[in-house]
Amino acid sequence: MADHENLAEGARFAASVPARPEAFPIKGCGALDWGMQSRLARIFRPATRRTVMLAIDHGYFQGPTTGLERVDLAIVPLLPYADALMTTRGMVRSTIPPASGTPIVLRASGGPSVLRELSDEQIAVGMEDAVRINACAVAVQVFIGGEHETQSVRNMTRLVDAGQRYGIPVLAVTAVGKELTRDARYLRLATRICAELGAHFVKTYYCEPGFDTVAAACPVPLVMAGGRKLPERDALIMAHNAIENGAAGVDMGRNIFQSDTPEAMIRAVGAVVHESVKPEDAYDQYVRG
């Protein structure tokens, strides 16, 4: 029972100090609801406002990719070094330890395999299931210029609407087909469309020249896609250049899990992204393991 006797008069009101509500200080985040900002603050380290995402969702359209044959053996040991894990709900429930604490960016689009037209995707995960999984974001492929462009954009906008209701951010992944050029002009178009239609952050490829213009023209954070497997030194140079030119992080898959020493590689990538380590020094760190 509350003690109503001998109550001291409070003296710590600090009436002269105005209250200062603090939004999570990342690009385009200030007007989002608290839950959205909280989830983004788990994906992007508050100290650096950057992220190292580990992408292992390749199996949703191409099966057991080299390096992902056994996620329990190859990927789970890397989770302590990833700021977020981009994966599928099937892999989350079957393989990812719930106690790992690694934020999940959940693949939410799918449909065709590598044997068919990849742009013919649909929404493959409901937002309620993303909530059950405790995802920090959902990811959707957007095929600007692809055969099913409008359908993929609609997939994204439907997820954005659902995400607004549940407080879950949407990552738009700009897909580039064989017939599309990964130059700054195209990437400015694709990333800006995604952001204008509500994506809370965007994953896109690095390009030279002009990546700085892609990042500057996009009003939400850009995360660089790792893309095809490169020599480790080249992958670290690409990550460094992307960060220097405005990326808010990287989402690497094959350049980490197909490396000869994946743990050393993800640690080297983290040094580039979060500590601004030069690529040569990061490569030396990788070689030392």
| Strand, helix or coil for residue 196 | helix
Contact 260, 38 (CB under 8 A): no
Per-residue burial over 159-170, b if 16 or more Cβ lie within 10 Å, else e, is: bbebbbeebbbb
Using alpha carbons, list the distances in angstroms from residue 112 to 21, 88, 144, 163, 203.
45, 15, 17, 24, 20
| Strand, helix or coil for residue 94 | helix
| E strands present in 88-198 | 104-107, 109-110, 122-123, 137-142, 170-174
Using alpha carbons, list the distances in angstroms from residue 203 to 42, 267, 282.
17, 21, 23
By annotation, the residues acting in catalysis are 203
Using alpha carbons, list the distances in angstroms from residue 97 to 70, 78, 102.
14, 12, 9
- Return phi, psi of residue 268, to 5°: -65, -40
